[in-house]
Amino acid sequence: MGQINNGKMLTAFFDLKEPDIQSLELNDKIRIDNSWWNINKVIDYDANANKLTQVELISVDSEIDLMSVLPGSTAIPGEAPPIGNGNNGAIAHVASNTIFNHRSSNANVIPGNSSGVITGKGNVVNEGLKTVVVTDNKLISEDGIYTDNLVVYNRYNGLPVLPACYAYTAVLFQAGATPPVATELVNTFGQITWNYLGVGQYQATLDAWDLGAIPQDRITVMIGSSYFDGIYSAIYVAANNSIYVDTSQIGVGFSDNYLAYTTIEIKYYP
């Protein structure tokens, strides 16, 4: 009530940028010289124009002691420098340099023609986008959801969500007495190394797996076939966290060169 009865109104022009607008709170208290002010309104801010913005302030203190103004003057040796210059008055000069030039590390830059929800910090959203952002310090360049970890319950695109699993899918190629070469399509197990054990016998070691042995009833291993006369098998051995693959020719026995763009899939359901 005291602010309404005794407060004074001040209208001035400020050099406001997009981060200033994003971090601005109407209940912010602004210190100008020796007086505190509240923001009453920001008038006609234009994000696309490089110009000063009119701001209406209302005093917090019962009295306002304004500084002396010496527009365009120069400092006198031994005395405090004057406030203001030929283009900006004292209030605009002090506010620009002590308040609005401050850049909050929590600010997001969101153009007025973009829409969505931003819960992170330091993100920059391009114009005209529809987006949901739950992350920090990203450039948002197209419509969509941006997050470091997406958790979906019940259904995804109308289909029931399967239990989360570790997965490895690769296309294998092997020739001569050499380890298979894997073209990985999916790998959430970490580094997997393929070794040559002997004719038609190969081993894939889960090098980066440090969560202990995988229970035999929680892992599936499937391998495709490439030749009509080939026999393929793939099994998981918990003792050394490895997958063993064997290839044979019908009527001959273990044979190399039978992994020719052959698919293998490993899934662990914790």
Tell the residue number behind the tokens 């099994």, with chain if given.
Answer: 235
**Residues 78/25, Cβ–Cβ less than 8 Å:** no
**Residues 95/12, Cβ–Cβ less than 8 Å:** yes
pLDDT (tens digit, 9 = 90+) per residue, 127-144? 889 999 999 989 999 999
- Residue 63 confidence (pLDDT) above 80: no
> What average pLDDT does range 219-231 have in this prediction?
94
Q: Which two tokens stand for residue 38?
A: 């509240």
pLDDT (tens digit, 9 = 90+) per residue, 80-92? 555 444 454 545 5
**Residues 202/232, Cβ–Cβ less than 8 Å:** no
Q: What is the pLDDT of residue 7?
A: 63
Residue 181, CA distances (Å) to 177, 227, 243, 261 in order? 12, 18, 15, 10
Q: Which two tokens stand for residue 174?
A: 């092997």
* Residue 16, C-beta contacts closer than 8 angstroms, at least 6 positions apart: 42, 45, 52, 53, 55, 100
Mean pLDDT taken over the chain: 80
pLDDT (tens digit, 9 = 90+) per residue, 152-191? 877 878 777 766 789 999 999 999 999 999 999 999 899 9
DSSP 6: H
The string over 176-200, giving b where at least 16 C-beta atoms fall within 10 Å of a residue's C-beta and e elsewhere, is eeeebebeeeebebeebebeeeeeb
Pairwise pLDDT comparison (81 vs 64), residue with the higher score? 81
- Residue 74 confidence (pLDDT) above 70: no
Q: What is the pLDDT of residue 4?
A: 52
Domain boundaries, the chain: 2-100, 115-147, 166-268
In angstroms, the CA 24 to CA 150 distance is 30
Q: What is the pLDDT of residue 100?
A: 41
- Residue 28 confidence (pLDDT) above 90: no
Q: What is the pLDDT of residue 33?
A: 66
* Residue 59, C-beta contacts closer than 8 angstroms, at least 6 positions apart: 3, 7, 8, 9, 10, 35, 36, 37, 38
- Residue 71 confidence (pLDDT) above 70: no
Q: What is the pLDDT of residue 101?
A: 41
Q: What is the pLDDT of residue 90?
A: 47
Which segment of 30-39, 99-108, 237-246 scores lowest on mean pLDDT?
Answer: 99-108
Q: What is the pLDDT of residue 62?
A: 46
Pairwise pLDDT comparison (53 vs 184), residue with the higher score? 184
